[in-house]
Amino acid sequence: MVARIVTGVVGVPIAVVLIFWPGGLPFAIAVGVVAFLGAMEFYGGVRRARVRPVEWAGLAAVAVFVASARTYERNTVAPTFPAVLTSLLVLSFLNELVRTRRAPSMNLGATVFGAVYVGWLISHLVLLRGIEGEVTVGSFRSTAGAWLVMYAFLCTWACDTGAYFIGRFYGTKKLAPRLSPGKTVEGSVGGLVSSVLVAAVAGVIIGLPAAHALALGVIIGVLSQLGDLSESAIKREIGIKDFGTIFPGHGGILDRFDSLLFTGPAVYYYAVLFLRGWP
């Protein structure tokens, strides 16, 4: 528990600086690094299950996803990325053909899934950061996208933290014993309630309409836990406990960011569809 707290104390200020740094480029670079390392963890994990992904192509696709998200609003080089992704897929097939032990559906399936699961999903945080508009809190002013990224982070962390502590101290009924034996129904409810409470408070601070704040709190509270369980399902399939050890008390990149892989896209699409009049 101490390791988890220390990791959070160190990591949160860094995340805040990156999110609100003017222009968003440092945040995009950080997301790219996280995506690259997360994809490496994923491919390393599936190799332990005797799958041989075309790792270089998957990592290149991850970079394309994040770079495309960064240039999406500017409409500069983003239109060329579908051609790049298509080329990477074709080259992956060619790479598989020259292997002595071919298993194209398994190897390329893992390659594509890893790139999409990590790279495509996490790139939505860059898209979210790029949403225009200005929000002022006190004397501090930043873009609507930066505040929404912080909002997604806070609600996701609140859900994870609430589920962890409520489950640890009050949990009795197992939620999904085959996927994640430590998770409990009580912890799940605690995580959802924590997400909604933080969403409501943060919504007031940034001027988000109450109905939207509560809706996002529920969406994040549900998807955060589904993202965690989905990653657990992958780990159980390939027979590992954690994808890495880079974060003391948390595991690897994917063990730390698995919830955001689901909540980031949800907040982005919610903002695009329902928050056009805000701020």
pLDDT digits (tens, 9 = 90+) for 181-227: 889 999 999 999 999 999 999 999 999 999 999 999 999 999 999 99
Same structural domain for residues 159 and 110?
no
- Residue ending a domain, among 129, 145, 178, is 129
Residues 149 and 255 in one domain: yes
Q: Tell whether 113 and 95 lie within a shared domain.
A: yes
Query: How many domains does one find in the chain?
Result: 2
Same domain, 170 and 258: yes
Query: The pTM is what?
Result: 0.93
Verify that 80 and 143 share a domain, yes or no: no
Could you tell me if 114 and 187 lie in one domain? Answer: no
Question: Comparing C-alpha atoms, which of 125, 122, 117, 114 is closest to residue 44?
Answer: 114
Domain that holds residue 85: 25-129
Of 153, 129, 117, the closest CA to residue 27 belongs to 129
* 96 touches 90 (CB < 8 A): no
DSSP E strand boundaries for 18-143:
134-137, 140-143
Range name among 1-15, 37-51, 198-212, 264-278 with the lowest pLDDT average: 1-15
> Does 214 lie in the same domain as 202?
yes
pLDDT digits (tens, 9 = 90+) for 62-102: 999 999 999 886 665 566 788 899 999 999 999 999 988 88
Examine the domain organization and report whether 57 and 119 are in the same domain: yes
Q: Domain boundary residue among 129, 145, 168? A: 129
pLDDT score, position 241:
85
115 and 153 together in one domain: no
| 142 and 189 within one domain | yes
Mention every residue, 6+ apart, whose C-beta is less than 8 A from residue 250: 3, 4, 7, 256
Percent of the chain topping pLDDT 90: 80
Considering the domain architecture, whether residues 53 and 114 belong to the same structural domain is answered as: yes
> 43-47, 104-108, 224-228, 250-254: which has the minimum mean pLDDT?
250-254
Distance CA 160, CA 7 (A): 14
